[in-house]
Amino acid sequence: MPTNPYSALLRTPGAARFSAAAALARAPMAMVGIGIVLMVQMLTGSFAAAGRVSAVFMVAQAVSAPIIARRVDRLG
């Protein structure tokens, strides 16, 4: 039976804790899209409107993320 490459990677000292912290830190970012859909659908009654709002947010985030990352790298 072949070894799982992830288990070998996670056996590296500190890798499991680092990965767990990263997963926990990214959870809120993943939940924003779902939160937008649920809130807009509740307010408007339309899943189509909720999807459009969520899509606009995701596009805006994709466009602004590299700009913000460059600024953080430059300014610290």
pLDDT digits (tens, 9 = 90+) for 23-65: 888 888 878 989 999 999 999 999 999 999 999 999 999 999 9
**Tokens 């070998």 found at:** 8
Length reported for the chain: 76
Cβ burial 19-57 (10 Å sphere, 16+ → b, else e): eeeeeeeeeeeeeebeebbeebbeeeeeeeebeebbeee
Mean local confidence (pLDDT), 13-27: 88
Q: Does the global pTM surpass 0.75? A: no
In the prediction, which pLDDT does 2 show? Answer: 55
